Each structure stands twice: as C-alpha cells, then as structure tokens.
Chain A
Amino acid sequence: MERNFYHDDFDELIKQKADQYKLYPSDKVWKRIYSSLHTRRRWFIAGMALLITGILFFAGKELLVPETHIASTKKQNDNGVGLTQDAEKDKESQIPITPDFSIINPEGNTQKVKEDEDKSDLTAALNLLPAPAIDNPHNGELNGGNNSLTNVPDKINTGTNSLDNSLIFENYPLVNNVIVSENVVKPDLTPDAETNQKVAKEEMKKINWLKENASYGITKQPRKSRFQLQEYLSPTASFRTLSGGGNYDIPKSNIQNIPIASTHLGNPNDYVDHKPAEGLEIGAIVAYRLTRNIAIKTGLQFNYSRYTIEAYSSYSPQPATVTLNSVYGFAPNSINTYTNVQNFGGNARESLQNQYFDLSAPVGLEIKLLGNEKLQFNIAATIEPTYLLNRNSYLLATDYSNYIKDPTLFRRWNFNGGIEAFASYKIGNFRLQLGPQFRYQLLSTFVGAYPIKENLKAYGFKIGFSKSIW
C-alpha cells in the first residue's frame, strides 16, 4: 500500500509517518527539568542549611576549643608599666636575701659560707680548710655596706689547719629569690676576676629585673564586660510575595450560592501591580559575649513596612467577595462587601499604600568572622516573634478583581527571620556597625482562612552603635 503512491500523497505520507514516530527520553532529561523548575526552593533550603551549619560549626569550635588569652607584657616592656617610677630606686631597697658565698681554696675545695654568719662561724669554717696558706696581696679587710663581712685577719691560725689571708670568694648564682644588693662586699681582686664579677653582676641585674617585673610590676587590667548594648536604625526597601489563591475548596452544592470567578486561578503575583516602598527598622539589642567570637543577643525592634499597589478607583461601589477556606468541611464562609477600589480597571488610576507597624523581639546569634580589636567583620541571624501594632492595608478579593479592607483577616502575631552581615569599627568607647540585612516574614500576614498568602520582606542597610555595659 505504501509502496504505491502519487506525488500528491507524498506530503501526506511524510506527515503521517513523522507524527507516528515516538522516542523515549532518558531519565536525566526529567531530572534536569525538575532541578531547573525547583531551583529556587533548593537554593533557599541550601542557603539556610549552609547558614545554620556555619553558625553551628563556629559555635561548636568556639565552645569546645576556645582561644586562650596570653597576657601581654608588651605594654609593660614599653614604658616599664608595672614598674613605678621609683621602682628603679627601690630595687635596692628590696628585702635582700642573704647570698650564699663559697670559699675556694687553691686546691679547689669549696665550702659555702653564709655572709651573715658570725665571725666565729666563719672562722670556724675557715679553720676547716686545709693549708697551704696563700699570700693575700690586699691583706684582706673586706668592707661593704650592710652586707659586709667581718674583718678577716691576714692569717688564721687554726691549729692543724691554717689558712692565710688568701681567700677567694665567689658569688654563686642566686637561689630562692635571692636579691643581691649592689653594695655587695667587694674583695680586692685581680683585674680579670673583677671583669668576671662585673659580668656576673650584670646577669644578676637582668634576672632580678625580670623577677621584679614579673612578680611585682604587673598592674591589674580592668576586666572587659561581656554585655554590649546596641542601638541601630535601618532604612529598608520593603515588599511582599503573594502565593496561594484559587485553592479554596467549595462544595459543588454551594456553587450556585456563592459568586465564583473561576477565570483567574493562577499565581496572584501575576494579577497585581505592586512595587516596593521605603520602610524603617529601629531597635535596641543587648548582646552577651559567650566566647571571643560568638555572642547571643536579644532586644526590641520597631518595624515599619510598606509597599505600593497600583489599582483603579470607581465612582460607584462594586460588590466584592472574599471566600474563606473551609476548615471543618462545612460550607465555606465568605465576606461580602462593597468597594470603590478595583484591580483590573476603573474610572481612574489610584496608588494604594499598604502599611504595617509592628514590634518584634529579635533573638539570635552574632559571630565574628575576622578582624581585630579595631575592625571586625561579623554575621548575625535572628528569629523575631512579632506583634502587629497597627496597619493600614488593602486585601485582594479572592476573584482578584477588587481590593477591600477587613481588619479581622490580619494575623496579630507572626514570626520573622533576619540575617545580616556587618563591619564594626571601634571609635573610642563605641563601635560603629554598618552592613546589609534581610528580613523575611515566615507566616502569612493574613489568617489561615484567607486563601491568599502574603509574606513581607525587607532589604535594608543597618547603621548602629554599640557599647560595653556593666
């Protein structure tokens, strides 16, 4: 049949056979389509997961392995902080602890002799040393200040052991916080020995100085307060996202009784003409520093949000219906009213301002990412229980045709989530904070029965000051 054809049937054959042909795509095609369609939700989930993971990571790191502070002695070293101006003079007046001296005879035997021992003890100690006697060119009268040794005779007759006045004294290194006065007894020594003694004295000075400063010189640093008070102001661009609409479940038996506009069942965002407007956030927060880099904070914040709707006004009021969702499966409720404000057309254009005034209590975390005492970079996240103080706003009727006002459809309590990043710079006792922030309303502005959901959002730039308190 198909082999015998005429030119006139050629086109028909081609079309017929081409339309019959089917090809089945591989699975990856649908996966790519799906991920492309649901990317926004994925990015949102991924972003939130990353933020929470990052906060948990830094919090865990700081709490488990906090950075330790090392007391800086630099300041002390620079100007001798810790040392009073008289400290240098007072060095010598420090309570001296008697040094230990050793007596070395030419044969290398040594014996420690305390400086302030009685002459008799010294003599007795000396008597123990063996001979021979060595000439002492200086005929050893040892003089000194407070720590002078008693005169040692040129020769000591000990009986079996005698020692002439050639005594060589050596200063042993200090032990047990011995402080050597400069007015140490200076025996008559050879030039080499003098030099050695001078070197030893210098070293003693260094050790003493270090011990003095470490033990007595550090002034107590005032303890830093962990509490901070932050006050801020954020001009914002506030807007909204609409969703839902057309989801209400109306039993068929009720259709004839309730006016339905079944032509507009799409996303309500596509049927309204709205744009952002300026808003404001003002607040005060108290932050408590848990670790060096993490602080928790809470406070109070006043929020003013608004956006503009382009609508139309009509000379005569039009009926408008808001059909509310059925909760218990009974006949759905509806609100019937009249309004002069239309969405799709009217006698004249009209700009509406929807405004919201609310008070929130942000609770959250602040993390310092990097920086020093002067300049820091931080991020923060908060959850804000919010109470709607007042509002002046229009609602879209469920057929999207009109705008009405009905205060009973607004939720009083809500939750907002906020994230921010800012740089802070220390100026005197204050810190200046600057940075962008984003706030998103987690629950709909309207009660659950109203089919259209509205979530407010605000992009702002935060300017704040913080100061340590308590």
Chain B
Amino acid sequence: MTEEAIFQGCLKNDAAAQRELYNRYSPKMLAVCYRFGHNREDAEDMLQEGFIKVFSQLHTFQNKGAFEGWIRKIIVHTCINNLKKNKRFNESVDIIYASTIQTREESVPGIVQAKQIVECIRILPIGYRTVLNLYAIEGYSHKEISEMLDIEESTSRSQYTRAKQMLEDILLRKKIIQKPKEKIPWLAAVK
C-alpha cells in the first residue's frame, strides 16, 4: 500500500489502512515514547494515546512536510503532556537525583548499539532526560522547549548542559564511548 492510499484509507476510517499505518510507524514511535517514559508500560500507554490522536486529527494534515515528522510531533507532544500530568520538572530535584546516580564500569562490545545509548539516556533524571530528548534528538529549540515544559529558557539550557555532561560520564564509565586521546605536543616532536 502506498502512503497516499494509506492516508486516504485512514481518512475514511478504514481499519485495514489504519492498521497498516500503525504497523509502519509504531516501532519508531514507541522508541520515542520509551525515551520519555518511566518504563515500557508507560511508553505503550503514551503510544496508544498518541496514535489515537493521530487518527482523529488526520484530516488536519496539510501535506506540508513529511508524514512521519507530523506523526512524531504528535507523539512527542503526547509524551510531554503525559509527563506534565505526572511530574513537575524541578531543577533542584533533578540535581539531587543526579548526584545519587551510580553506574558500573562495564566492558562493552566495540560497536555502540542504539539500545545502549537509549538505556543510558533513560538513566538520567526526568528533567534532564526530557530536555535532552527534545533538544538533541527531536530538534526543538530551547525557546520551544521552555514553552512546552512551562520552564524558563535558561533552565532549559542549564538542564541540557547538565544532561549532556551526565550522559557523557555514564557512557564513559560504561565504556560505551572513549574520550579522545589528548595530543601531547612534545611527544609529536619526538616522533
């Protein structure tokens, strides 16, 4: 089925077209929800809510931009609304929580798996994680993030900086990534 046929079928509330659309985009969208949610069950709940919104608002899609991007936007907003219902983003709480996180040093295979990165992102405190997801992965600006989360733009920036630093530490401790070796000028001269 072409995307256009799926789209038209979904507009007519055709169950087969809806199922096809869901099958195509649900794996990626569930991964998005998983990065925002506490656990897999939460992620599936957000996915379900998001897709219901997708199908009911399908007639508002105006063919501007990619269809996947439009779906992703709805899913992200659904995740944010869900988090806002359950948790207020509190910088001080995140800082306290961040200081208590402990990670083990693990030896990992040479190739970095996507799953490892995502699992490390999920270790972060919820505020850090959300801002990191929105800025680094979903591509929102700090201004947009501050409006979505009802926080100050400066808070968004500071949360992102801390989140990035913490993620880097985690990835280093787990040996998922390595810091680049520092170049020593006098050694280069000897060589």
Selected A-B contacts with CB under 8 Å, 26 pairs: A3-B177, A5-B178, A6-B180, A10-B164, A13-B112, A13-B117, A13-B177, A14-B137, A15-B136, A17-B113, A18-B114, A18-B133, A21-B114, A25-B27, A25-B30, A28-B44, A29-B26, A30-B19, A33-B18, A34-B18, A36-B48, A37-B13, A37-B52, A37-B56, A267-B59, A270-B59
Contact flag A14-B44 (CB < 8 Å), given A4-B180, A33-B22, A266-B59: no
Kindly report which residue of chain B lies nearest to residue A22, judged by CB atoms.
B27
Inside 8 A of A5's CB, which chain B residues have their CB? 177-178, 180
Q: How far is the CB of A382 from chain B (nearest CB, A)?
A: 30
The size of the chain A interface, using a CB distance under 8 A, is 34
Kindly report which residue of chain B lies nearest to residue A3, judged by CB atoms.
B178
Inside 8 A of A28's CB, which chain B residues have their CB? 44
Inside 8 A of B43's CB, which chain A residues have their CB? 23
> Is the pair A37, B18 in contact by a Cβ cutoff of 8 Å?
yes
User: How far, in angstroms, from A21 to B137 measured CA to CA in the complex?
Assistant: 12
User: How far, in angstroms, from A466 to B112 measured CA to CA in the complex?
Assistant: 83
User: How far, in angstroms, from A34 to B22 measured CA to CA in the complex?
Assistant: 10
User: How far, in angstroms, from A121 to B174 measured CA to CA in the complex?
Assistant: 133
Q: Which label, helix, strand, loop or mixed, suits the secondary structure of the B interface?
A: helix
B84 at the interface (CB under 8 A from A): no
Task: Bits for A18-42, please: 1 = Cβ < 8 Å to B, else 0.
Answer: 1111111110111011101110000
> Is the pair A32, B48 in contact by a Cβ cutoff of 8 Å?
yes
Taking a contact as CB atoms closer than 8 A, the residue among B27, B113, B116 that contacts A24 in the complex is B27
Kindly report which residue of chain B lies nearest to residue A30, judged by CB atoms.
B22
Task: Bits for B1-31, please: 1 = Cβ < 8 Å to A, else 0.
Answer: 0000000100111010011001000111011
A107 at the interface (CB under 8 A from B): no
> Is the pair A23, B34 in contact by a Cβ cutoff of 8 Å?
yes
> Is the pair A21, B47 in contact by a Cβ cutoff of 8 Å?
no
User: How far, in angstroms, from A26 to B43 measured CA to CA in the complex?
Assistant: 11
Contact flag A17-B114 (CB < 8 Å), given A23-B27, A33-B51, A34-B15: yes
User: How far, in angstroms, from A360 to B119 measured CA to CA in the complex?
Assistant: 67
B85 at the interface (CB under 8 A from A): no
B167 at the interface (CB under 8 A from A): yes
User: How far, in angstroms, from A247 to B9 measured CA to CA in the complex?
Assistant: 11
B: contact size bracket: 35 or more
Taking a contact as CB atoms closer than 8 A, the residue among A14, A21, A24, A33 that contacts B48 in the complex is A33
Q: How far is the CB of A250 from chain B (nearest CB, A)?
A: 14
Q: How far is the CB of A298 from chain B (nearest CB, A)?
A: 37
Kindly report which residue of chain A lies nearest to residue B59, judged by CB atoms.
A266
User: How far, in angstroms, from A448 to B52 measured CA to CA in the complex?
Assistant: 32
Inside 8 A of A11's CB, which chain B residues have their CB? 136, 164
Contact flag A37-B118 (CB < 8 Å), given A14-B137, A25-B47: no
The B19-67 residues at the A interface (CB cut-off 8 A) are 19, 22, 26-28, 30-31, 34-35, 40, 43-44, 47-48, 51-52, 55-56, 59
User: How far, in angstroms, from A347 to B115 measured CA to CA in the complex?
Assistant: 60
A2 at the interface (CB under 8 A from B): yes
User: How far, in angstroms, from A33 to B56 measured CA to CA in the complex?
Assistant: 11
Q: How far is the CB of A2 from chain B (nearest CB, A)?
A: 4
Residue ranges of A at the interface with B (Cβ–Cβ < 8 Å): 2-6, 10-11, 13-15, 17-26, 28-30, 32-34, 36-38, 247, 265-267, 270
The B114-155 residues at the A interface (CB cut-off 8 A) are 114-118, 121, 132-133, 136-137
Sample of 17 more A-B contacts, CB < 8 Å, known A11-B136, A18-B117, A25-B47: A3-B110, A14-B117, A18-B114, A20-B114, A21-B34, A21-B115, A22-B30, A25-B26, A28-B44, A30-B19, A34-B19, A36-B52, A37-B56, A38-B13, A38-B15, A267-B11, A270-B59
B111 at the interface (CB under 8 A from A): yes
Q: How far is the CB of B154 from chain A (nearest CB, A)?
A: 20
B91 at the interface (CB under 8 A from A): no
User: How far, in angstroms, from A25 to B15 measured CA to CA in the complex?
Assistant: 18
> Is the pair B48, A15 in contact by a Cβ cutoff of 8 Å?
no
The 6 A-B pairs of least Cβ separation, nearest first, read: A21-B114, A22-B27, A17-B117, A20-B114, A2-B112, A23-B30
Inside 8 A of A267's CB, which chain B residues have their CB? 11, 59
Inside 8 A of A38's CB, which chain B residues have their CB? 13, 15
> Is the pair A15, B137 in contact by a Cβ cutoff of 8 Å?
yes
Kindly report which residue of chain A lies nearest to residue B28, judged by CB atoms.
A22
Kindly report which residue of chain B lies nearest to residue A21, judged by CB atoms.
B114
> Is the pair A21, B117 in contact by a Cβ cutoff of 8 Å?
yes
Inside 8 A of B118's CB, which chain A residues have their CB? 17-18, 21
Inside 8 A of A30's CB, which chain B residues have their CB? 19, 22, 26
Kindly report which residue of chain B lies nearest to residue A245, judged by CB atoms.
B12
Inside 8 A of A266's CB, which chain B residues have their CB? 11, 59
Kindly report which residue of chain A lies nearest to residue B13, judged by CB atoms.
A37
Inside 8 A of A36's CB, which chain B residues have their CB? 48, 52
Inside 8 A of A15's CB, which chain B residues have their CB? 136-137
User: How far, in angstroms, from A20 to B56 measured CA to CA in the complex?
Assistant: 28
> Is the pair A18, B35 in contact by a Cβ cutoff of 8 Å?
yes
Contact flag A29-B112 (CB < 8 Å), given A10-B168, A24-B27, A265-B8: no
Contact flag A33-B27 (CB < 8 Å), given A3-B177, A18-B35, A23-B43: no
Q: How far is the CB of A445 from chain B (nearest CB, A)?
A: 21
User: How far, in angstroms, from A150 to B159 measured CA to CA in the complex?
Assistant: 130
Inside 8 A of A37's CB, which chain B residues have their CB? 13, 18, 52, 55-56
